[in-house]
Homo-oligomer: A and B are copies of this chain.
Amino acid sequence: MKLEILTKTDNKEVQNKIIAGIKDLINFKNLEPGEKLPSERKLSEKFGVSRSNVREAIQKLEFYGILKPMPQSGTFIANIGITAINGMIEDILELEDPDFKSLVETRILLELKTARLAAIRRTESDLKRIRQALDAYNKMVLEGKDAVQEDLLFHLAIAKASGNSTIETLMLIITPGIITNFEKHHVCDENQVILAMQEHEEIYEAIEKQDSQLAKNKMKLHFDILYQYCYNAKLVT
């Protein structure tokens, strides 16, 4: 129950094997993009794996926009050119699980942007939602309770207000990794949490009065302290 990786690992190896096989198929049997892949049954037979495994691999490539299964018709290769598909699949196969540092680095990058965009684009309802998240955070802190989740929701509310659905999606994707790592590293101490209340307030006010530069700077300050706390190093943006 603690080892969360092992059971999925062989599965991932099988998946990567299938994905590599599909890549070879596209290269070797020169299946043109836009064409159909062999049926799931044939692939499962060809690669010596279950059809479920083939479907999972296809789903993964569908997530990256490379394949598109069409019911009762076939699975089509995205029409984005054989070179791009090759490069992307290679990258996907080599992708390593993100480390904590790259997660934090990316989060800061995204959040500085969402702060700026939120200040520019926030609607009244956005503002209301951010305020609610902020109040919830303060309430927990003042009660002496752990407020990691509320902190997170405050930041997600800002991401939503940024009006950029792509960034919002990306924030959601990296969020769980952030949380689990934060809890693992015991990042937030008492002082941090209290201080963050004030910082959050300032970020909120900057977004409220639509001062994008100020919002970015306040967010940067917020993370600057966090970053130093994590790494004993100054944040470079």
Q: Taking beta carbons and an 8 Å cutoff, which residues of A are in contact with B?
A: 1, 4, 7, 59, 63-66, 68, 70-71, 73, 76, 78-84, 87-88, 91-92, 95-99, 102-103, 105-106, 109-110, 113, 136, 146, 148-150, 152-153, 156, 160, 163-170, 172-177, 179-180, 183
The secondary-structure label for the interface of chain A is helix
Nearest CB of chain B from residue A10's CB, rounded to whole Å: 10
Residues A164 and B7 in contact, CB atoms below 8 Å apart: no
Residues A98 and B165 in contact, CB atoms below 8 Å apart: yes
Could you name 23 residue pairs across A and B whose Cβ atoms are closer than 8 Å? A1-B70, A7-B71, A64-B173, A78-B176, A79-B180, A80-B179, A80-B183, A83-B149, A84-B152, A84-B179, A88-B156, A91-B168, A95-B168, A96-B165, A99-B165, A102-B165, A102-B167, A105-B166, A105-B167, A106-B166, A106-B167, A106-B170, A166-B174
Residues B173 and A68 in contact, CB atoms below 8 Å apart: no
Residues B92 and A172 in contact, CB atoms below 8 Å apart: yes
Nearest CB of chain B from residue A71's CB, rounded to whole Å: 5
Q: Contacts A102-B165, A164-B102, A170-B106 given: A176-B80 contact, CB under 8 Å?
A: yes
Residues A88 and B1 in contact, CB atoms below 8 Å apart: no
Option from B80, B153, B166 in Cβ contact (under 8 Å) with A83: B153
Option from B7, B88, B99, B170 in Cβ contact (under 8 Å) with A70: B7
Residues B78 and A180 in contact, CB atoms below 8 Å apart: yes
Q: Contacts A64-B172, A95-B172 given: A166-B84 contact, CB under 8 Å?
A: no
Residues A166 and B88 in contact, CB atoms below 8 Å apart: no
- List, in ascending order, chain B residues with CB within 8 A of A172's CB: 64, 88, 91-92, 95
- List, in ascending order, chain B residues with CB within 8 A of A179's CB: 65, 80-81, 84
Which 5 residue pairs are nearest across A and B when measured between Cβ atoms?
A: A65-B176, A84-B149, A81-B149, A98-B166, A83-B149
Residues B103 and A166 in contact, CB atoms below 8 Å apart: yes
- Which residue of chain B is the closest to A148 with respect to CB atoms? B81
Residues B87 and A153 in contact, CB atoms below 8 Å apart: yes
Residues A166 and B102 in contact, CB atoms below 8 Å apart: yes
- List, in ascending order, chain B residues with CB within 8 A of A164's CB: 102, 105-106
* Most chain B Cβ neighbours within 10 Å, of A73, A166, A180: A166
- List, in ascending order, chain B residues with CB within 8 A of A68's CB: 4
